[in-house]
Structure 1
Amino acid sequence: MATAPYRETLPASWFCDPEHYRREVQAIWQRDWICVGRAEDWPQSGDFQRLRIGDQQIVVTRAEDGALHAWHNTCRHRGSVLCESDSGRFEQGRVVCPYHAWTYALSGELLRAPRSTQRDGLRLEDFPLYRVALASWRGFVFVNLAEAPAISFEAFLAGEADRVAAWPLEDLRRVHRARQRLACNWKIFWENYLECYHCPGVHPELVRLVPVYRTGFMEYADAGLQEDPARPGAMLRPGAVTWSTDGGTELPWFAGLGTADAERGMTFVTLPPTMFLVAHVDYVRTVRVLPLGPEETELTVDWYVHRDVLDHPALNVEQLTAFASQVVSEDARACELNQSGIRCGRHRGGVLLEVEDYVFDFEQWVRGRVEHGGR
């Protein structure tokens, strides 16, 4: 029987080296679509949030007409920072530079440059704030820092959005957020997400809930196994319907789910480098990834339910979040162990097995982005 050779991983230095980290931030994080939140995070005109992607600061705000806008946190006069707070509200619908009081509309147009005269020849319309591309997908808000994004938002979503077409994502409301910093490179977290080779040893409760994970594969077809003919497409153990400590739920199911969506028990939307989404019959969870340094990554994990369920007597946030929180905690420990060991001076890189095909695909994607400058 012919066998394919194992494949080498990315160089170990790509997970530690500050200079290579800078290249990745510029080629990937500052040229791709990055999720920055949900539309309801900016409920009123003038609300803003300041965000950092690598060494770049941006501001997202809601204008008087209800539209969201994003721009770099830099005054067009002499480059001062405009917003000093991470969130708040612009008073009187104006953005005023704290240095020389140049004043902008929430949509970014320059409205006033104090003490400028006709002799200066300054045309206000020539100096709007540096705009950042912004797009929305069913309530989720994304930005792209590239001056001319090479990837359209539609191409970025590709077929992933279709996976959750039956879920009412527009009507979701957040009930819990967990934010933590991991001592690992951002790619290590993604690679952990993209394989279940580690699942039998790291996630004992998860493999009881999702039996195929015991094989180290994430799909029955990849493991060369047949699905239960009585439950085609089902991923959870018999009797389980969602990710919870007992596999059950007392919350109402999302209306409109087809039999296949409900039977599967979990549906993933994967949008590297920024986030993945997991949809269940009763709630939706998102995990957003943000690099803070070559060996530090921030995770933002949000749990959502339908807005009509917010006052439901069966809604127990602690119970709703317990199972996935445990999985994230187990993954975090594994990722930090990986990062700590990868610094070994003799470790130039590792190997990938067949069970890690998705990791190989991800590393090829990273390699292509870095080598072609994000194009």
Structure 2
Amino acid sequence: MKFVVETMTHTLFPTVAAMLAPDVMSEMTGLMITAVSQQPLSSEYGRSGSRILLVTTNHGQGPSYILKRVSLEWDWLMRSTKDTLCRSVTLWQHGILDQMPPEIEHGVVACSHDGDGWAILMENVGDMIVLFDPFTEAENAFFINAMAAVHAQFWQNDVLDNPDLGLCELCDIFNMFNPRTARVELNGDNNIPRRVIEGWELSQFNLPTDVFQILQSLLDDATPFCDALAQYPHTLVHGDWRHANQACAPGVPHLYLLDWQLAVPAPPVVDLARYLITNSPLLPVSKDAVIEIYRHKLAARLGEQFSDEWWEPQLALSLLGGFLQDGWAVVLKATNWRVGARNREQWRADLVWWSEWVRAGAKWL
């Protein structure tokens, strides 16, 4: 599928106040909105520093929404991935999110400028957010099918080359949890950069020597890895496909996929790797089985465009990239991080599994 974006499909409001004005909200909802209020929310899974607010209408009697305020000033992942245009906004603004397959909903209602930053008004799907609880086989298949649908929809699509989208550069998503990046952000309010450094320091004591050496080399300079991965077919990759960015409910035929901040043109298994590494204790089948499910779904959608000639190398490289991106967290969860405490043995086993893929991916460098 090819399409060209010539004009912006959606227009940003000049301010948050303009976007949330009762008359504007009435027009957007088709309901009589007479009052709008906001209150801050916190997210256990947020890593970037963005600010989340609950928007209620008609004193709690009308529909509610989520308002996400983002700015380079307080969002360290925006800074580290050079998100100067706000990808979550540009993908909506240019109509890319409207091109999602039927399996996916994006939930964005409107966007606005917000001083030097941006604000995104979204449907309130908080009650449908996927919790950190084991997936059923049906749920896992549902998520993987939705992933394959997105990747097939934007397969080798020229629109991803549009610089006005401001999509991530490939190396940026693999450098964002790099010790060098973390050291730059140590003085901020977010504790993740400190954890990144701690996790990578611990990795030399918790990984086989050869695996640590491969990773250390790529943490010093990921260019050889990014150049190798960039040779293979690309699609629109969400970049952070984990449980907390998914929302669904029984009887709802589509998946809400939230937070497109790390969107990048990349080979498809970059998303699958993120799914496997962050959701590991939740998977109802082995990671190898999930890979096979995804391969089958993607191959069925791509038809003759699918080939083992590119599938095998991008699989190995993307899984190496998954650990290059998030290995620090797996090490911490396998050792001392409270986030992984109840699944400590799973995370320890994961270190073995991912180590094998680091070795396999390194053969393609």
Q: Work out whether the TM-score is over 0.5.
A: no
Q: Which has the higher helix share?
A: 2
TM-score with structure 2 length normalisation?
Answer: 0.25
Where relative contact order (Cα < 8 A, 6+ residues apart) is larger, the structure is: 1
Higher strand share: 1
